[in-house]
Every structure is written in structure tokens, then in C-alpha cells.
Amino acid sequence: MSHSWLQQYPANVNHEIEIPEDTDIAGHIEATCRQYAHKTALTCMGADITYRQLDRMATDFAAYLQNNAGIEKGDRVAIMLPNVIQFPISLIGAQKIGGICVNTNPLYTPREMKHQFKDSGAKVIVIMDLFLDKLEEIIGDTDIKHVIVTSIGDQLPAWKGLLIGTVLKIKGLIPKHGLTVHKFKDTLQIGSTKTFKRVVSQLDDIAVLQYTGGTTGVSKGAMLTQRNVIANVLQIQEWAKPYILRGDEIILTALPLYHIFALTVNFLAFLTLGGRMVLLPKPVPIENTVKAFKKYRITVMTGVNTLFNALNNNEEFQKLAPRDLKVALAGGMALQSKVGKDFQSITGQPVTEGFGLTEASPVTHCNPLHVTPPPNSIGLPLPSTESKVVDPDGNEVEMGEVGELIVKGPQVMKGYWKREDETAKTIKDGWLWTGDMAKADSSGYFYIVDRKKDMILVSGFNVYPNEVEDVLASHPKVLEAAVIGVESSSSGESVKAFIVKKDESLTEDELKEYCTNNLAGYKRPKFYAFEKELPKSNVGKILRRELRENIKKEA
């Protein structure tokens, strides 16, 4: 295996990282909080908190979890929040006592919540009041015994929080419920009066259960250990070292923190360099993101192709032409060439594309920032990361040939939670098989050619056809269903469903309503086609490939 990529590294970027044996995620953050105690750590909706305040509130929350919720080392704590200050407080607090964080998408339906909470065995949930009715519907089928509820305005000035809460109630957005809940603000106050016992996690302890889909359509919890996460944080920091000033950067966080990309890159990597993280709870409409550029000297941002594209097409952003950006990182989905060029022409800053997956905490590759990389490249393997392209038997293919991308490094997960069989299929001899078809060139740059799996990428979020098909097929008027991804100018890809009716009275509106009740918004089909029959193999397997080919022919 060639390590030709090392020749492309900047001179002051080390080829390997060293992971301290005496640290954990909480300790990494605590050290930053001590070093930058008086600097602003988080900004959200005009409210700021310093590093000292962040650490104090996280400690108060940890004390509450330990004393009042009975959380012990290894217990799972679900966090179902958008980008608000309460998210970092909750995650750090849980880490301080050895809890395992289960990050949950607030857009999930009750069905999706039930699977994740039941599978993880979460005992406590921190949830926004806007979603309590969904939780009430399924909580009886889970192990959750303690519900901590927060409001969008909890960490804002009292008058502003009251105003926002009143408006939400008038609009009927805060649902009624019969749950016994504990207010987030109260947990901090109660925790401040308690004795707190810091639990030091070992590097091989699980830190996060980050759920991801799979070829079976069943969402699986990737077990990311303290070592995995800390390693990826150090790898990212080493890669960005030549361009970042500690304690000086302002990081725009429009991507949700419950997504592994923003969690590791924005929060854990850049925040622990002493930066100021600007949190956007609602980055769309895109005007909300543009306002952040107007108000703050943004120097670092992450995004998916659709976010950069939306900014490019916003007149206010074009006029603003922000010139303080040092680093603009794209991931989650392929960056379209035109989008990158347009963004650079507006800001003067190129968009640097990288690659990763949940199972690798997530970053494995990134383009260097000091040179113009080859077009469509995902870049070079990060420090302490090995990468190669192989055939189905694991043999490395010839340079330039297409095969499956596999990676090895300290950021690769421990395995899937309670799924040894799935783990064995994905990790072989320490190598993580990504399921992505790729190629490499003689300089060490890697390129994603296509996805081996039938996964659909909607605005950077993974949509797994089997899950959507399972929901559609459960409708009493549906005989058969197949789902594929089709190109979309707004979201990269959209979901298209092909339906064979069981009952001729079935309508598209009925299916849309059904999916609204059972699937998160980004997973719902945007297009429907009713067919007499679906293409199948000789053993009866529906051939999605033929559906995709038919779409291309029609185009």
C-alpha cells in the first residue's frame, strides 16, 4: 500500500497524532474552559456565554444527572435538541459523569424515536418542549424514566425568552401533554446545590451512540469511544493547524449538532481551540444564515452543498461578500463544482471538501488548504489514517481503478451497538469498509465515484430506501413499493417512490399524509409514480437499478 499522500502534506502538519492516555472528552473541554475562561464560547440568538459559564453550567447539569436522575457511568442520555446552548451543556454534563450520549434528530417521528430510544436503552432524555407530544406517544415502550424539558428561550435574557415562549404558545406550537417533566433551568439550579463527583472515562469507554442507517434499513448505533472522538478531534486540529489561530476564530454552526459532522468538527474540534461558536437553531430560510455573517466576523464555517448553494443565490450574501473566512469545509454530500466556484468568487475563499462517515467519528479524508486540489477529490487521508481501494476480496486494486474505499485509524468505531453480525460485515481486520466506490491517483488523492449502497443523500442526510419502502408497504392500499434518489437542484437528491396499488382508490395525497406521520421530513418521498409492476430479478428482488436507468432514459 502506497502512502504517497504524505508527500502532499503541508510541511508543518505531522503525519501522526498522539492521543494522551490520561484524558477524556470532558477533560479536553475542561482544559479549554480553564485556558479561555473569560472568552465567549457560545453565541445563540444574540445571547453569549463564556467558557467559564459553560463549564459551570455543564457541571451543575452533571451534578443533577448524578444525584437526581441517578445516571451512572455507561448509562445512556438522549439529547433531542436543535442548535441551542442547552445542547453543549447537556452533552458536556453527561460526559463529566461517564454517560453515553444518544444524539437524536428533533425531526424524528414517534416511530423513529421509539426505535432509537428502545434500542439504546436511554434512561434520560433532554428534549425541546415543541416535541413532547411525540415523546408522550412512545415513552411507555422505552426505558426513559426522567424527562428534562427545555424551551427555545431558556438560555436567552429573561424578557426575550418570555417573549419567544409567548409567541410560540399563541401560535399553538407548544403541544399539551401529560408527562411528568423537569425543567432544564431547574436542573441547573438544583445541580448547583449538589456535591458533584467527576467520573474519568477510559479511552475505550463508549462516549456517543451515533445512529446511522444501513443496507438492512434498520438504524444502528455506532459505538464511538472516547479514543475515537478525541482522535478525530486531534486529527482535524492537526490538519487545520497552519491556518487557525487559537482563541481567535468565530465558527458558524448552521449544521445541526446532533449530526456527527457538526458535533465533531464545529463543536469538539474548533471550540476546543478556544473559538467562539455561533449556533443557528434555524439556518433556513437562508436569510437567517446571512444575518449571522452580517453580525459576526465569521472565520470558519461548515456546510453541505445545498447550504453553500443557497448562500450563493442570496442577493444579500452576494452584496455582503464576507472576506474574513479562513476555512469553509464541505461534507455530508458531494460538493458541486459550480457551487464551489461561485462561493469562492463571492467570498474569496475556496470551499474545502472532505469525506467521512458516522462510523469514523466522522472525518477520514480532507483536501489540503494550502494548494488547489484536483477537481472532485475528497482529499488525502488525515494524520494516523490509512486508506486504500480494494476489490470484493479485499485486494488492493491498481492505481486509478475503481473499488470499495476502506479505511483504518484510531477514529474508526468500536462497532455497532448490540449488532455483532453487522459489525463483522463492516469492520474486517481493523479496516472499515465504507460502502463507497472510489479510486485513487498516484499523488495520494482519493475520489468517490459512486455509492455501493442505494443510500440517498438529501441535503447531506442519509435516507435508506429500505426504511422508506417498509413504511410505504405497510399502507393497507399498497401492494409493492420501491424508492430511489433523483437529482434535485435544492437538496442534491430527492426521494422518488414507485408504487403498485393494492386498492385502486389509493391517491398520492393519502401516501403523503401517511409518510408525514411515519417519516422525518427529509425521508419523505417528494415524487410518486404509480406502476402496474416493478422490475424484478429472477428471484423476485426489486431492481432499483433499473428504475434509476429508466429515469435517465426519460431525461
For the chain, what are the domain ranges? 51-201, 457-554
Q: Where are the beta strands (DSSP E) in 12-136?
A: 40-44, 47-50, 76-80, 100-103, 124-128
CA distance 101 to 108: 17
Cell 455501493 -> residue: 452
- Give the pLDDT of residue 540: 55
How many whole angstroms separate alpha carbon 530 and alpha carbon 511? 11
- pLDDT at residue number 174: 86
Distance (Å, rounded) from C-alpha 251 to C-alpha 266? 7
C-alpha cell recorded at residue 357: 462517515
Comparing CA positions, the residue from 257, 208, 202 lying closest to residue 359 is 208
SS3 per-residue string spanning 162-225: HHHHHHHHHCCCCCCCCCCCEEHHHHHHHHCCCCCCCCCCCCCCEEEEEEECCCCCCCEEEEEE
CA-to-CA separations, 419 to 205, 207, 221, 454, in angstroms, rounded: 17, 17, 9, 21
**Around 339, how many Cα atoms within 13 Å sit in the side-chain half-sphere?**
24
Domain 51-201 fold: Rossmann fold (3.40.50)
Amino acid 215: pLDDT = 37
How far, in Å, CA of 291 to CA of 403, rounded? 43
pLDDT for 216: 42
Give every residue of the chain whose pLDDT is below 50, as ranges. 214-216, 539
Alpha carbon distance 3, 441 (integer Å) = 11
Identify the CA nearest to 228 among candidates 474, 415, 486, 424: 415
- Per the CB < 8 A criterion, the answer to whether 326 and 244 are in contact is yes
Please state, in angstroms and rounded to a whole number, the distance separating the CA atoms of residues 256 and 298.
17
Cα distances from 241 to residues 84, 86, 244, in angstroms, run 28, 29, 6
Mark out the alpha helices in 333-390 (DSSP H runs).
337-347
Locus of grid cell 491556518: 243
Alpha-carbon distance of 59 to 30, in angstroms, equals: 10
Question: Given the DSSP bridges, would you call strands 403-408 and 431-440 parallel, antiparallel or unpaired?
Answer: antiparallel
CA triple 40-45-47, angle to 5 deg: 40
In what helix (H) or strand (E) does residue 185 lie, and over which residues does it extend? helix 184-191
- 3-class SS of residue 254: coil
Angle between helices 25-35 and 51-67 (to 10 degrees): 140
User: Under a CB-based contact definition with an 8 Å cutoff, are residues 225 and 204 in contact?
Assistant: yes
- Retrieve residue 408's grid coordinates: 483504518
How many other CB atoms are found less than 10 A from the CB of residue 2?
A: 12
Q: What is the pLDDT of residues 197-216, one digit of tens each?
A: 999 999 999 999 999 854 34
C-alpha–C-alpha distance, residues 276 and 318, integer Å: 24
Q: Are 374 and 445 in contact (CB under 8 A)?
A: yes
For helices 337-347 and 305-312, give the axis angle rounded to 10 degrees: 50
Pairing of strands 220-225, 206-212: antiparallel
How far apart (Å, rounded) are the C-alpha atoms in residues 347 and 320? 9
pLDDT computed for residue 213 by the predictor: 58
- What is the pLDDT at residue 71? 98
Sign of the dihedral defined by the CA atoms of residues 267, 270, 272, 275, in that order: negative
DSSP element (H, E) containing 406? strand 403-408
> What is the DSSP code (8-state) at residue 265?
I
- Which CATH architecture fits 457-554? 2-Layer Sandwich (3.30)
Task: Give per-residue burial for 534-549: e unless 16+ CB within 10 Å, then b.
Answer: bbeeeeeebebeebee
